[in-house]
Structures are given as C-alpha cells and as structure tokens.
Structure 1
Amino acid sequence: MDTLTLRRPDDWHLHLRDDDMLRLVAPQSAHFARAIVMPNLVPPVVTGAEAAAYRDRIQAAGFARPLMTLYLTEATDPADVVAAHAAGVITAVKLYPAGATTNSASGVRDFDKVRPVLTAMEEAGIPLCIHGEVTDRDIDIFDREATFIDRTLTPLRRAHPALKITLEHVTTAEAVDFVQGNDNTGATITVQHLMANRNDMLAGGMRPHFYCLPILKRDTHQARLRQVATNGDTRFFLGTDSAPHPTHAKEATCCAAGCFTAPHALSCLAHVFEEEGALDRLEGFVSLHGPAHYGLAPNEDRITLTRGAALSLPDRIEGHGQTVTLFDPGHPLHWHVT
C-alpha cells in the first residue's frame, strides 16, 4: 500500500503553551482538525472565562478548532465547570496529581477535596482526563502509573461509575488492562510510546528528547501498546501529548519532560502501523475512536498519506524568539501527508 486516504485526524492530547511559543507551535498541528488542549499554563486555566480567553489566543495563533479543558484544582467551582461545558466553552476537565509533570504544582493532592466537582461532572456528562501517576518519591518512576491505578484510579472509578474517563498517555500493560476492564473508560496513546522504549532513551547515553512523563517503559509494555493501538480496539486512540519546550530546556542538566511530535506525528504513526501490518486500522486510531469516546462526529474532510522517499524534516523549528527540537525516532520515515 503506497497511498492511504483517511478522515482528517484529531489529536486528543496536545500542549500548545502560550505567547511566543504558542505562535510558533500552533501551526505545526495543521494536519489535525481538532485537538484537546491541555490547560497547564502558568498560571493554569482554571475557569470557564480563562478557557474562553485561551481559546481565542490559540485561534489567533493559527489553530482553528481547539477543544478546551479546565485544570482541576482543589478550589475548582463545580458550577463554573458545568456552566462552561453547557456553553460549549470546554470539552473536558484535566486532573493532574500535584507535581506529576510540567506545570502541575497546582494539581490535586487530596482527592476527597475534588469529589464535589467529580460528582457534578458525572451528573452533567463532562469527561475527565487524567494524568495517571503517583508522585511519591519512594515509588520508582517506572512504577508510578501502575501504582496510581491501584491506589487512586480504581477507587475513583468505583466511586464514580458513570463518569467518562480518559486515561491519558498510557504506558503500561497495567493501564491497558484497566481500560479494557472498565466501562466509560478510554485511553490516549502517544507517538513516542509506540515508537520507543526506555532502551532507546537510555542505552548508550541519555537522549533528552526522548524524556517525557510518564517515562518510556520496557519493550514489553511498548509491545502491548502497539497491539491495542493497531488491533482496532475502539477504547484506544491518538493523543500525541506533543509537548514543546525550548531546546535549551531539553538539553539541560535537569531536562524538561516532553516530546515535540506534532509536525510529523502522522508519518510516525503510519510507520508503526505499517510495521504491524495494520495500515487499514490507522484511520480508526487517529480519526474515529476518539470522536466516538467524546460523543462527537468524525471529521468529514480527508487527508492522504503517500509512501515515498525518506521524509526530510528539520532538526528544529524556530520563530518568535523560540527554538524547539523535534522528536527523532532514529530511523527514516517514508509516509508524507499530502
């Protein structure tokens, strides 16, 4: 197969930042019709009014159809969440355990304090997106997702059975098992977790542009993710978690967490699905499963991917006083978006 036509994909987990970085990276997601945009700015997007203002800045920067989220804090007003969703301002609410990842200091420490918000969301049909990791320093970083599922997510799911949950950027077999074993639960999978494992990041030297949170896991977990992404399971769909950081912040003594994959995400995914003999299922993963989970119609317009010579990509993109380095999978990509 040398040509593949798909409904235009969506990205169900995207970081666009703000100000000059927003102006640089927003156009890089042009292959995607819609995107769930993360609210972890500084300060975070915590009210409907702030989400509406951020939406306007994103559209002015060149991405036409952002789907906004609110950052869940222990002070979040349930009424504001419900009103913002009813008005079409937000699509979902994002839960960060405090300290779990970039700009998560305002996240949740005491889950009992957000029960009223979760109850209101459950009643109103508002999806909850979750960064699923514990942050305890005594828990090995490679075990933080599995521990979160046992300690926090399983009781939360039991307490709110009708709440629609998206477990974001899943990285482990344990996360896959949880999603497959629970109703009203879906999951996003990133480009980097399909293309790489912790050996790719660590063997022979630390590669900072592979460093993200949740961190890359063993190849056995990578294999499980590739299986569920490519076998047509509708509970799993694309969320790139494309997370731009200035190159100097990535290539630092203590580097920032995140992989910038937006410009070539679809080429990377076509590579993965081709390797797995599943190009006929790529459309489901990138274009159909996500809208179904969020109760939205798939996009009507189409894009075409064509297999040809190795894709020529810049190492970095620059503009507006910013420089961001692209995720490099370490081998040629041959699928072009036309």
Structure 2
Amino acid sequence: MTTLTIRRPDDWHLHLRDGEMLKGVLPETARHFARAIIMPNLVPPVVTAKDAAEYRDRIMAAKPDNSDFQPLMTLYLTEDTNVKDLRAAHEIGLITAVKLYPAGATTNSASGVKDFKNVRRQLETMAQIGLPLCIHGEVTDPDVDIFDREAVFIDTILDPLRRDIPGLRVISEHITTKDGVDYIRENKDIAATITTHHLVINRNHILVGGIKPHYYCLPVAKREQHRLALVEAATSGDPHFFLGTDSAPHTDDLKEHACGCAGCFTATNTLSILAEVFEQEGKLGTLEKFTSLNGPAFYKLPANQDTITLTKGDPVTYPAKIDTGAGPVTVFDPLMPLHWRVT
C-alpha cells in the first residue's frame, strides 16, 4: 500500500496556549485536523463560560486564512466551579467537555482539584446532562513513585468515582500504562486517548545517555512493556481508544532548563508518525478508526465528511523547530525515518 485515504482526523487533546504561542502553533494543527479538544490550563485557567468564549474568539482570530478548523472548548474544573454556569455553557454548545486536573499533576494545574468530594455536585450535574469529563489520571501524593501514579489513580480515585457517580462519561486522557489499557477494556462509559509520543518512546529515551528534555512529558513515559500495550490498543480498532496528541508547546529555553517544562510538541508530524507506527504493526486499516472515527463516536459528534490522503515514498523531512513570536519550539523527533506524508 502506497496511498491511504481516511476521513479527516480530529485531535481529542490539544494545547494551544495563548498569545504569540497560539498564533505560532495553531497552523500546525489546523493544517491536517478538523477539530480539537482545547485544554483550558492557561494562566489564569479557563474556568467560566465567559473565559471559554473569549478564548475561543482568540483561537478563531489566530486561524490561518481559509481554515475551517473548529476548536472544541473545555472548562477547567475547580472546587468552586459554578454548576449553573457549567450547565449553561453546555446548553448553548459553548463547551464540549470539562477537564479535571488533580492539583499539581502537570503544567498549570495548581488550581485543580485537591479533594474530589468537593466536586461531587459538578460531576453529578455532568452525568445528568451527558457532559463528558476529561481527566488527567495521576495521583499527586509525593509518596507514590512517578511511574506508578497512573495505576494508583485508577485504583484509588477513578474506579471509586465512576462507581459513585454512574453515568458519568469519562475520557481517561493520555494513558501510559498497560494498567490503563486493561481498565478501559474492562469497563463501559469510559474511553481513553493515547498520544503520538507515548506510542514511540519509553522512559529510556528520556534518561539513557543523558537527560533528553524534549522527551520529558507528563504523564512520563513508562517501561517498554507499557508502550507496547499502548501500541496494541491504538492499532486494535477498539472504539474506546482514540487519538489525543497532548501536543504541548514550550519554548526551547523552558524545556532546556534546570527545571524543564513537561510536554512534547507533535502537531507538525503526528500523522506521518502514526502511519509509520500502524504500518509497522500491519494495521494501517485501523488508522482511520483511531484518528477519525472512534473519538467522534464517543463524544456523540458526527465524523468529518472530508478526507485526507497519505502517500508513502521517500523519507519526509520536517522542520526541527517551529518559530513563534514567543520563541522557538522543538518538533518531536520520533527517532525513525517517516515515509508517509499528507498529500
């Protein structure tokens, strides 16, 4: 197979930031993706309907000319989130989901949830109205090893939460472990996004031969056995797994720093990487499900009608960096030749 035509994909987990960074990185997503779930962890975070509307306006203003890219907005869940405001934002179609960050779990998550009992009313409302919850599934207990935080979260928070509030539709974002894969397969009313970079790297890529800051992300990459479980899940065609790149731009000075920021910027070359990974597994036939069909189905949205075509040929060259008004952003290097390009 040297050509593959699929419905235009969506990205169900994307960081665009704001200001000059937004203007610099948005074209990299809008080039190939029709829609994206936009993360609300700005400073200050997007916590109200007014915040979401204003942020959406800034995104729309930054779109390239003639682009039909559609941002799908989210609210940042806090213990003070107003239920009436949340419900109203959903009713007018302003938001597609709500994002839950455990306080301190990742970039700009200080305003997140400290005590899950304090967001019970908000979560019950979401279950009633069918508003999905996107969740960063890691505990923040300093006594829990960073490589175990996803598995502990599943056992101590996610599973009890879902049992306590039946009907809550949860997306466990950027899963990184076999534990996460197994839990999704064993349950209903739950799905998971898988990132491009977690299909490619394990923790050795970050640490062996020196610290590689551009492979550092949260959740951190795990052992090879977990990466292989993610690849199997993503390529399986299972409707509960779909693409959420978690493409997260930081300028190089903030990545290459004594306390470097977490995040891999994959918006530019994601589709080439995915095609390569799926072909290696002999599963190109399921790529469309992962990128274009499973996500809309879980969110109860129509799949895109237009298509894109990937063509296989000589290795594709991507820029090493994207220049933005905020500074240069390094593009994720998958450490393998990429032979598929969008044509």
TM-score normalised by the chain length of structure 1 = 0.99
**Aligned residue runs from structure 1 range 227-306, under 5 A:** 227-306=232-311
Alpha-carbon distance, 1:165 to partner: 0.3
Q: 1:120 aligns with which of 113, 116, 125?
A: 125
1:109 aligns with 2:110: no
**Aligned residue runs from structure 1 range 85-234, under 5 A:** 85-234=90-239
- % same residue: 61
Aligned counterpart, 1:19: 19
SS across alignment from 1:262 = coil
Q: Determine the C-alpha separation between the residues in 2 that align with 1:322 and 1:61.
A: 17
Letter aligned with residue 60 of structure 1: A
Q: Is the 8 A contact 2:206 2:213 kept in 1?
A: yes
Q: Determine the C-alpha separation between the residues in 2 that align with 1:337 and 1:90.
A: 30
Deviations 1:122-142 (A, max 9, x none): 000000000000111111000
Q: Is the 8 A contact 2:137 2:172 kept in 1?
A: yes
SS across alignment from 1:133 = coil
Q: Determine the C-alpha separation between the residues in 2 that align with 1:182 and 1:276.
A: 26
Aligned counterpart, 2:33: 32
Deviations 1:175-218 (A, max 9, x none): 11111111100000000110111112211111111100000000
Q: Gapped runs of 5+ residues in structure 2?
A: none
Aligned counterpart, 2:47: 46
Alpha-carbon distance, 1:319 to partner: 2.8
Q: Is the 8 A contact 2:103 2:112 kept in 1?
A: yes
Q: Gapped runs of 5+ residues in structure 1?
A: none
RMSD across aligned positions (CA): 0.8
Aligned counterpart, 2:3: 3
Q: Determine the C-alpha separation between the residues in 1 that align with 2:3 and 2:200.
A: 22
SS across alignment from 1:179 = helix
Q: Determine the C-alpha separation between the residues in 2 that align with 1:47 and 1:204.
A: 45
Q: Determine the C-alpha separation between the residues in 2 that align with 1:271 and 1:60.
A: 34
Q: Find runs of 4+ consecutive structure 1 residues off by over 4 angstroms.
A: none
TM-score normalised by the chain length of structure 2 = 0.97
SS across alignment from 2:329 = strand
Q: Determine the C-alpha separation between the residues in 2 that align with 1:326 and 1:150.
A: 35
Q: Determine the C-alpha separation between the residues in 2 that align with 1:335 and 1:222.
A: 22
> Which shifted more, 55-64 or 107-116?
55-64
Aligned counterpart, 1:311: 316
Letter aligned with residue 263 of structure 2: G
Q: Determine the C-alpha separation between the residues in 2 that align with 1:182 and 1:156.
A: 13
Aligned counterpart, 1:76: 81
SS across alignment from 1:74 = coil
Letter aligned with residue 306 of structure 2: D
Q: Is the 8 A contact 1:74 1:113 kept in 2?
A: yes
Q: Is the 8 A contact 1:24 1:322 kept in 2?
A: no
Alpha-carbon distance, 1:5 to partner: 0.3
Q: Is the 8 A contact 2:25 2:324 kept in 1?
A: no
Letter aligned with residue 329 of structure 2: V
Distance 1:321 1:98, change over 3 A: closer
Alpha-carbon distance, 1:79 to partner: 1.1
SS across alignment from 2:183 = helix
Q: Determine the C-alpha separation between the residues in 2 that align with 1:321 and 1:106.
A: 24
Q: Is the 8 A contact 1:315 1:325 kept in 2?
A: yes
